[in-house]
């Protein structure tokens, strides 16, 4: 998850942390209240949605389109919808605004969709939209980000704790002692929290010689660039960087390092080891050039595929249970109590960067 935020959301996050979180939630609820009563749904609507055999229109709501990762996911959606025989409407972009995402959910419900596939921006605020869908009897599949509460038929995502652990273990194999930086995502998202805590805990437990410095960047490229620049001025001896979202952090990070003459190729003296998350083509090119060392490939293709797969089954009234799947993943119970299909997310280095099975090698 990555990208820029709306002006309203920026005003919220610039307040103290607790106030910002409450502000986003209030804004999300206000978006619902501002609509017609029918938009928010009522108990009398429950059970009317859904169609036999999983038929009916499906709304697909994106968090943003400023990241190459989400651009790729957006391109995969119609292909996978066709493959899974799902009648998906044109995708809707919430433009990094949690309140707008609630409005988008209401608009889709008012259009009579029988199912929703949503990539939540804020793990808490999305509950307002999920509640409205439940009142309408419309099943929802969450992609990439797990809601903290609310009802969804399935969460389709990779193990974000494993993202942070893989990044830590890779950097720890390259940097034995010294300072490393993690450029974090939005901590209002469970993804940002899980990656951050996993990296932090792994470094403390397995690599005590590492000193972890942190940049909270909220999936914003400008914030990542400016804060990294300041951090490098104060700590010119940084030896490693973990970017939690290559889609928005790759370009500004490389540009910042280059401006300070710190962008040394892999293998050269002074090279800063860099590991990322996303698996976009730009990261693969950077690995080939020796600009970064590795990335964890977040599966944009299977996010789209299994988002469609599960929503069709949910619309047909099917339910799911924990355990292994037939597509090389495992359904687990998320701490929220919801079920999550944890799709594979391999580490990509120079050894396997040209693997044609990686989605990043199959898009322009």
* pLDDT of amino acid 29: 44
Mean pLDDT of the chain: 88
* pLDDT of amino acid 32: 40
Mean pLDDT of 33-44: 33
Sequence-distant (≥ 6) Cβ neighbours of residue 14 within 8 angstroms: 20
- Give the CA radius of gyration of the chain: 20
Mean pLDDT of 227-254: 97
pLDDT at 128 over 50: yes
pLDDT at 49 over 60: no
Mean pLDDT of 148-173: 96
> Do 50 and 138 meet the contact criterion of CB atoms below 8 Å apart?
yes
> Do 249 and 276 meet the contact criterion of CB atoms below 8 Å apart?
yes
Mean pLDDT of 71-90: 98
CATH code of the domain occupying 160-297+350-361:
3.40.50.2300
> Do 57 and 111 meet the contact criterion of CB atoms below 8 Å apart?
yes
Mean pLDDT of 139-149: 96
Mean pLDDT of 305-312: 98
Mean pLDDT of 6-31: 41
pLDDT at 30 over 70: no
* CA distance to 229, 252, 297, 350, 361, per residue, from 355 (Å): 34, 26, 12, 10, 7
User: What are all long-range contacts of 196-203, with beta carbons under 8 Å and residues at least 24 apart?
Assistant: 196/164, 196/244, 197/161, 197/164, 198/160, 198/161, 198/162, 198/163, 198/164, 198/165, 198/168, 199/164, 199/165, 199/167, 199/168, 199/242, 200/164, 202/164, 202/165, 202/168, 202/169, 202/172, 203/168, 203/172
* pLDDT of amino acid 54: 67
Sequence-distant (≥ 6) Cβ neighbours of residue 352 within 8 angstroms: 346, 358
User: Please, which residues bridge with residue 211 across strands?
Assistant: 179
- Using CA atoms, how far apart are residues 112 and 16, in angstroms rounded to an integer? 39
Band of the pLDDT at 53, cuts 50, 70, 90?
A: low
Mean pLDDT of 100-128: 97
Give the model confidence (pLDDT) of 259-286 as tens digits.
999 999 999 999 999 999 999 999 999 9
* 12-16, 133-137, 205-209, 360-364, range with the lowest pLDDT: 12-16
Q: Where are the domains of the chain?
A: 12-144+300-319, 160-297+350-361
pTM of the model: 0.82
Q: How many CA atoms lie within 13 A of 5 on its CB side?
A: 22
* CA distance to 31, 126, 155, 230, 357, per residue, from 27 (Å): 6, 11, 24, 32, 42
Sequence-distant (≥ 6) Cβ neighbours of residue 229 within 8 angstroms: 256, 259, 260
Band of the pLDDT at 300, cuts 50, 70, 90?
A: very high
pLDDT at 40 over 50: no
pLDDT at 161 over 90: yes
> Do 248 and 224 meet the contact criterion of CB atoms below 8 Å apart?
yes
Band of the pLDDT at 75, cuts 50, 70, 90?
A: very high
CATH class belonging to 12-144+300-319: alpha beta
pLDDT at 48 over 70: no
* pLDDT of amino acid 364: 73
Establish whether domains 12-144+300-319 and 160-297+350-361 are of one fold: yes
């Amino acid at each position: 998850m990555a990208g820029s935020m709306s002006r309203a959301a920026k005003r919220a996050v610039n307040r103290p942390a607790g106030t910002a979180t409450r502000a986003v939630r209030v804004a999300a609820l206000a978006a619902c209240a501002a609509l017609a009563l029918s938009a928010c749904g009522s108990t009398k609507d429950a059970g009317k949605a859904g169609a036999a055999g999983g038929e009916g229109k499906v709304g697909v709501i994106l968090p943003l389109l400023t990241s190459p990762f989400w651009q790729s996911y957006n391109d995969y959606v119609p292909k996978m919808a066709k493959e899974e025989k799902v009648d998906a409407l044109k995708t809707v972009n919430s433009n990094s605004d949690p309140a707008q995402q609630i409005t988008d959910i209401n608009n889709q419900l008012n259009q009579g969709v029988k199912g929703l596939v949503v990539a939540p921006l804020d793990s808490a605020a999305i509950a307002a939209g999920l509640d409205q869908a439940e009142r309408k009897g419309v099943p929802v599949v969450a992609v990439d980000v797990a809601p903290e509460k609310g009802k969804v038929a399935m969460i389709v995502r990779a193990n974000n704790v494993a993202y942070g652990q893989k990044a830590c273990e890779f950097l720890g194999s390259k940097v034995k002692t010294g300072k490393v930086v993690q450029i974090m995502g939005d901590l209002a998202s469970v993804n940002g929290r899980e990656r951050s805590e996993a990296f932090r805990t792994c470094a403390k437990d397995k690599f005590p010689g590492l000193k972890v410095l942190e940049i909270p960047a909220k999936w914003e490229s400008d914030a990542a660039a400016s804060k990294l620049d300041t951090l490098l001025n104060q700590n010119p001896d940084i030896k490693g960087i973990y970017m939690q979202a290559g889609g928005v952090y790759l370009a500004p990070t490389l540009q910042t390092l280059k401006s300070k003459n710190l962008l040394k190729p892999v293998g050269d003296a002074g090279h800063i080891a860099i590991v990322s998350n996303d698996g976009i083509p730009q990261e693969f090119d950077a690995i080939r050039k020796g600009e970064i060392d590795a990335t964890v490939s977040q599966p944009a293709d299977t996010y789209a595929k299994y988002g469609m797969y599960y929503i069709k089954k949910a619309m047909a009234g099917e339910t799911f249970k924990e355990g292994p799947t037939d597509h090389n993943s495992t359904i687990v119970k998320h701490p929220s109590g919801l079920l999550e299909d944890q799709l594979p997310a391999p580490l990509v280095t120079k050894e396997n960067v040209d693997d044609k099975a990686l989605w990043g090698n199959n898009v322009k």
